[in-house]
Structure 1
Amino acid sequence: MAVFTSVSLDELSQWITQFDLGRARTIRGISSGIENTNFFITTDSGEYVLTVFEKLTFEQLPFYLNLMRHLADRGILVPAPIPNRDGAIINTLHGKPASIVTKLHGDCQLSPQPVHCAAVGAMLARMHLAARDFSMQQPNLRGIAWWNENAPIVMPYLSEANKQLLTTELAFQNAFAVSDTYRELQAGPIHADLFRNNVMFDGDRLTGFFDFYFAGCDTWLFDVAVTVNDWCIDLHTGRLDIARARAMLDAYHRERPFTAAEQQGWQTMLRAGALRFWLSRLYDFHLPREAEMLTPHDPAHFERILRLRIADVPPPLFDQNG
C-alpha cells in the first residue's frame, strides 16, 4: 500500500465539516494502490472512501469523478462522488485534491472462476455503452503517447533481451495505431485498470467497479484486453485460462457485440495491454516515489504475459460462424 499523505482522525474531523455526513468516527488506510492515498472512513451517516490524489491535478479530476457520477446515474455499479455543501466533488486536503465517494460492499475476488469473469465481462460492456453519451473528453494518460515518452527512461535499467523486446513491441504498437484496422475500432471512455482488486463481489454477485483514476478515452478493445490479461490468466505463468476468457468474452459480446475489426486486432490489443503494465511497473520499480508503505509490483509478471501474447494465438472474441 502507498500512503503518501497522512491524515489523522483529528484532521479528518475538521475537514469533513464541509459535508453533510455528520462527525468523522474512524479512518483507516486501504491496502492497495500505488498512485493515490486512499482511506476507509466512517461517519455518523455511514462508510465512505476518501482519496487524496498524489499525481492527478485539479484540472484532470473532473473527468474521472464526473464519469463515475454519470455511470452511477445510469445504473452502473460504481462509487458515487459525494458533494460538499457547495456542490463541489473535488476539494482540497493538505494542499492536494481530495474526494469522498460511496463505499461498495463486498470483497475483491482474487481467485476468479468463469462465473465471476462472466459478470465482469457483462458489466464492462454495459459500462462502455452507458458512457457513450458522456460529454467530457480526456485521452488515456497511460496510452501510447505515455509509452513512447517513458520507454527511453526505463531502457537503461533493462537487460539486452528486454531492451529488444520493448523496442520491438513499441514499434509494432505504433504501426498498429495508424492502421486502418485501428481506426475502425470502437472507442469511448474506458476504465483502463480493471484488475481483480478493482472489482467487488458479494459471493458470486458483482457489486461494483471502482478506482477509475486511470480512466480515459481509448478503444473499448484495449479495456477488454487489460481486463482479460488479469482476470483470465494463471498468475504464476501468465497463460490464458481459456474457460475464464471464454466466459468473459461471451458475456461481453451478448451485451455489446464485438466487431470484425475488433476480432482482427484482438491479439495486438492483448499485447498492448501487457506492454502498458510492463512499462508502468518498470517505471515504478526503477524510479519509485517515497511513501510510508509502498511495495512496487514485479515488472517480470507483465514481461512474461507480453511474451506469451506475442507467441500464442488467443481464443477469438466471438465465433464468426455462429
Structure 2
Amino acid sequence: MAVFTEVSLADAQALVDRLGLGPVTALRGIASGIENTNYFVTTERGEWVLTLFERLTHAQLPFYLHLMKHLAGRGIPVPDPQADATGEILHTVCGKPAALVDRLSGGHQLAPSVWHCRQVGQMLARMHLAGRDYPRHQPNLRGLDWWIETVPVVVPHMDESARQLIEDELAFQRHLADTAGYQALPRGPVHADLFRDNVMFDGLPGHEKLTGFFDFYFAGVDTWLFDLAVCLNDWCIDLPTGRLDEDRASAMVAAYDAECPLSADELRLLPAMMRAGALRFWTSRLWDFHLPREASMLKPHDPTHFERVLRERVANPWHWMRG
C-alpha cells in the first residue's frame, strides 16, 4: 500500500461523484504495504479507502472485489466495494483500475495475545466456510508456480547458505504438492496475506473485538491450511527470532478447528504448510527488495525475517493436537 500513482483531490472527487458519496473533505496517501496505491478518503457520507491497482489487471480484479462482496453478504466483516448507479464495483482512476471500499473501524494489534489469535482463527474458519459457494475461480497467483518462476531470479542476490535453504525448500514443496495427502486438502478462496496489519480490532484494551479482515488483493483459490499457516507464521511468533509461541498458536488453531474441524491430513501437513508460508513470503520479499519498483513512500520489507522463520519451521516443526 505505497503510493505509486499520485491521485489529486479532483481525481478522487470525480470517482466519489459517480458513487454518490458527497464532497471529498480529506485525501491522504497510505504509506504501508508495497503492492498498490492507497488513499484514505473522507467524504460527508463516511470514511473510505481508495485503491489503485498497480499490478492486477481489469480482467483479474473481479475475482477479488466480488469475493469481498460475497463474504460481506454472508456476515464476514470485510470492506464492501462501493458500486456506481449501474452496479459496477470496478472503476478507473488516473488510468488505473480502482475500487473504493468502506474503511473498517479500530486499529491493528501488532503485539497480539492469545485473545486476539483466538478471534483470528475463528473468523478465518468462518471466512473459509462462507467462501465455499463463491462461483469465481482464480489460483493463488503467489503459489507454487510463482515460487518456481521467482526463486531462480532472486538466488543470484543470496549468499550460499540462504541459496541452499531456499532451493532445498522449493524442492521439498514441489514434492509435497504431488502427494495424495496434499491434493486431498480442502480448498477454496483464501486471503493468503492475513498478517497483523490486515486485521482490525476495536474496543477497550485487553477486550478488543475483531472488526474485520482487509486487503484481499493476494487472495486466490488454495488450500485452507495454507491460509491458516500464513496466519500462524505472523500472529503466533516472536518477531525478532521467528520462534513459535505455542500458546498463541494453539489458541488460533483450536478456534479454527472449533468452527471448521481439521482433518487428519490437515493436522499431519500443518508443519509443512507453515514452511510453505515462510517460503512464499521470503521469496516475495527477496523479489521486492532486490528488484524494487519506484514509489512514493515505498518501504520494502526485510527479507531476512522470513529466512529466520523458515529456518525455525524446518528445525522445530510444530504439531498441534486436539486437547
Q: TM-score range by the shorter chain?
A: over 0.9
Q: 1-side partners of 2:71 and 2:182: how far apart?
A: 26
Q: Percent identity?
A: 59
Pick from 305, 308, 316: which aligns with 1:312?
A: 316
Aligned residues of 1:246 and 1:315 also touching (Cα < 8 A): no
Pick from 245, 263, 281: which aligns with 2:249?
A: 245
Structure 2 counterpart of 1:298? 302
Q: 2-side partners of 1:21 and 1:214: how far apart?
A: 28
Q: 2-side partners of 1:315 and 1:110: how far apart?
A: 25
Q: Give the alignment's TM-score, normalised by structure 2.
A: 0.97
Q: 1-side partners of 2:254 and 2:109: how far apart?
A: 20
Q: What stretches of structure 1 of length at least 5 have no aligned partner?
A: none
Aligned residues of 1:232 and 1:244 also touching (Cα < 8 A): yes
| Partner secondary structure for residue 272 of structure 1 | helix
1:52-63 pair list within 5 angstroms: 52-63=52-63
Q: What stretches of structure 2 of length at least 5 have no aligned partner?
A: none
* 1:189 to 2:189 alignment: yes
* 1:225 to 2:229 alignment: yes
Q: Give the alignment's TM-score, normalised by structure 1.
A: 0.97
Aligned residues of 2:107 and 2:202 also touching (Cα < 8 A): yes
| Partner secondary structure for residue 194 of structure 2 | coil
Structure 2 counterpart of 1:45? 45
| Partner secondary structure for residue 262 of structure 1 | helix
| Partner secondary structure for residue 133 of structure 1 | coil
Aligned residues of 1:114 and 1:244 also touching (Cα < 8 A): yes
Aligned residues of 2:229 and 2:273 also touching (Cα < 8 A): yes
The number of residue pairs the alignment matches comes to 319
Kindly state the Cα deviation for residue 315 of structure 1 after the two structures are TM-superposed.
3.6
Aligned residues of 1:242 and 1:315 also touching (Cα < 8 A): no
Kindly state the Cα deviation for residue 160 of structure 1 after the two structures are TM-superposed.
0.8
Q: 2-side partners of 1:123 and 1:16: how far apart?
A: 31
Q: 2-side partners of 1:31 and 1:209: how far apart?
A: 19
Kindly state the Cα deviation for residue 70 of structure 1 after the two structures are TM-superposed.
0.2
Aligned residues: CA RMSD = 0.9
Structure 1 counterpart of 2:238? 234
Aligned residues of 2:3 and 2:31 also touching (Cα < 8 A): no
Amino acid at match of 1:188: G
Structure 2 counterpart of 1:23? 23
Structure 2 counterpart of 1:133? 133
Structure 1 counterpart of 2:91? 91
**Partner deviation per Cα, 1:284-306 (whole Å, 9 max, x = no partner):** 00000000111100000000000
95-104 vs 9-18, greater mean Cα deviation: 9-18
Structure 2 counterpart of 1:289? 293
**Partner deviation per Cα, 1:64-117 (whole Å, 9 max, x = no partner):** 000000000000000000001221100111111000011100001101000000
Give runs of ≥4 in structure 1 deviating > 2 Å: none
Q: 1-side partners of 2:293 and 2:32: how far apart?
A: 16
